[in-house]
Structure 1
């Protein structure tokens, strides 16, 4: 509005100069300009008026040139503030439409804001709408434009990384993360994206480096990520280097890491997966003696080798101390079944089912009955499982 008033004022001066400038030509005080054979002579007042008129003409011409250029270049800002208001209203309507879940209308409104001067915020919103309406067909293009604005560069790159992760394009996500500025790299959302990408790429040593550098930023998520990093690193060692390397890695861990229940479970599970059930039994019994953590029950059930005497004696000692614990009878039943002691397995599983109904124990009892060729009884157990 202020620019428009200024232009009107200058135009008024221009017309005043045309109408009344000649009246001042007869005044005293003259200016003489000689340029070769060209001579100009005028009074001081007429020179001042001529200067004002020239300035007005130049200003108006410059204003027209800018408007014509913007029209040719495709800008919607043809009529100054009036067009900006329309674009601002379109952005406001797009936000409101998103708030009520009407993304089809939001897309129509947001398209009217291009290429408005919103410091890239309209392109950010357009990318989010495009994901919902078009399945992300134009997301990369819209976020690419948003990255050209300093105000939304980091946010646009962050969104693009999240989009690539969703599309399982982890290499592309890693490349963009490398270009994010140093200040934004310290933000929790960017750190979590880094961890997700590096974990997907199996770069566990880099995951651990990120965790050490950003422990405070991650807060409660740190423990979860630390456990996942340990699990990933152990799994990688087991798959590439074998069980011996896995054992050496466990032995080299600091005492605090070995005391972590999550690390203990991961290590024992990998030993079982590697076919080292006896080794797993030794480690499991040693750790379980120190703490009767229910998290170990599932590992005991997976032990599968003849005569797991240490594990069975430990479980039986727990049962003596807690005669009505259905979970302990269940653990003993599966442990005995996997070692080939079907008689003990049946006694233990029946006691477990007597104390608490459990589909896993029911299926075990049915398998034991099938081994005895008691197929009718086994079918009745399966039917009972289906009805329950």
Structure 2
């Protein structure tokens, strides 16, 4: 509006000048315009008036056109916003339906939201709904579409890797994870799946090589995988070459690995599997000189020796230092039972059950008492075990 006023003021000044000038000199002026056969004769004042009217008309038409275009844009924007709101509602509904377990509704809503700009999350929702409905091909297609968005690529690849692992295809899982960028591959979800895929594909050497770099990400699972690697390698040697080769392989390992608790637990387990219980007892007690270790202590339960005096002595020493440790009594009970000393076994197990009853311990007590013809006690322990998980 201000622009129009300025223009009208300028035109008015010009017009006043054109009218006033001839009047001041007593001459209205003469203007001749010839365009081919068209001849226009007029005065300066009349020409000024015509120019003024033309400019006013031009300004008014310009304003009308501007407002018309603005209204057209607003109308298009309104329809566009309405369409976007509809797409957003469909997207939110797909998430709600997925949480509700209504796979059909989730699929329909995600289809309506497919053209929305949701950074690939709409494809992730659609893929989950397809998986729930058993439509693997659709799920894979949707997940591949989601990988085209940087913010959804990690979730999509990880899901594809999980699907491959669930179908027993660890190498396909590794291929999916390899397509992630360096930052995405370093994420906890990708690392954990890669470790699992390497283990399931039997690539123990590669897993052992890379595991050290994943220690921070894996946290408490690091020791578990370290043991799994050792178990895999040692089991392969034991199954193919036997007990003597197993001991030779162990002695040839670097000191760092022989001092690794995961390798120690795996080696002791393989010794037990090979029937080398005396050797297993020796190494397990040697590695626990400073006290029981949570990964090594349970392995003592599997010792089957006629005279496990060193183990019983060590357990009794640890019990004196920690009289409320239920696990120590349990292990002592098993060691004594396997050695044929059911009196000591019964005593140790009953103490363990007073501290923390378990179905495993109660069933072993029932077995011991049944062999000793204490049928009433055996029946009582059997009944008690039914009420313990």
Q: What range describes the TM-score normalised by the shorter chain of this pair? A: 0.5 to 0.7
The question of 1:273 aligning with 2:269 is answered no
Deviation at 1:223, TM superposition (A): 4.6
Shift of 1:195: 1.5
The residue matched to 1:290 in structure 2 has which SS? coil
1:89 aligns with 2:85: yes
Aligned residue number for residue 285 of structure 1: 285
How big is the shift at 1:307? 1.5
Partner of 1:8: none
1:337 aligns with 2:337: yes
1:89 deviation in Å? Answer: 3.4
Q: CA RMSD in A?
A: 4.0
Matches within 5 A, 1:17-28: none
1:7 equivalent in structure 2? none
Q: CA deviation at 1:113?
A: 4.2
Which 5+ residue runs of structure 2 have no aligned equivalent? 1-34, 38-75
1:279-301 superposed Cα distances (whole Å, 9 cap, x missing partner): 11111111222223355442222
Distance 1:244 1:133, change over 3 A: same
1:109: which partner in 2? 109
CA distance in 1, matches of 2:202, 2:195: 10
Tell me the distance in 1 between the aligned counterparts of 2:297 and 2:321: 16
Q: Quickly say closer, same or farther: Cα 1:303–1:160, change in 2 above 3 A.
A: same
Could you list the per-position Cα deviations for residues 297-332 of structure 1 after superposition, in whole angstroms to 9, with x for gaps in the alignment? 422221012222221232244455566766544433
Residues in 2 aligned to 1:302 and 1:312: alpha-carbon distance in whole angstroms: 13
Match of 2:205 in 1: 205
Q: What TM-score do you get using the length of structure 2 for normalisation?
A: 0.65
Deviation at 1:350, TM superposition (A): 4.9
| CA displacement at 1:355 relative to structure 2 | 6.5
Instruction: Tell me which residue corresponds to 1:365.
Output: 365
Asked if structure 2 preserves the Cα contact closer than 8 Å seen for 1:124 and 1:156, the reply is: yes
SS at the partner of 1:292?
A: coil
Change (3 A) 1:233 1:348: same
Report the Cα distance in structure 2 between the residues aligned to 1:122 and 1:223, rounded to whole angstroms.
38
Question: Following TM superposition, by how much is the alpha carbon of 1:159 offset from its aligned partner in structure 2, in angstroms?
Answer: 3.1
Superposed displacement of residue 258, structure 1: 3.8
Q: Deviations over 1:171-199 (max 9, x none)?
A: 32233334445554444433333222111
Compared with structure 1, are the counterparts of its residues 176 and 317 closer, same or farther at alpha carbon in structure 2 (3 Å cutoff)?
closer
**Counterpart contact for 2:226–2:262, Cα < 8 Å:** no
- 2:109 and 2:149 map into 1 onto residues whose CA distance is 21
TM-aligned CA distance change 1:205 to 1:374, over 3 Å:
same
Distance in structure 2 (CA, Å) of the matches to 1:163 and 1:82: 43
Map of 1:314 onto structure 2: 314
Aligned-residue offset at 1:357: 4.7
Deviation per residue, 1:140-185 (Å, 9 max, x gap)? 1222344566776665434322322233332322333344455544
Q: Which residue of 2 aligns with 1:131?
A: 131
Q: Return the offset for 1:107.
A: 2.4
TM-score normalised to the size of structure 1?
Answer: 0.65
The 8 Å contact of residues 88 and 116 in structure 2, kept in 1 or not, is answered as: no
- Partners of 2:178 and 2:185 within 8 A in 1: no
Count of aligned pairs: 315
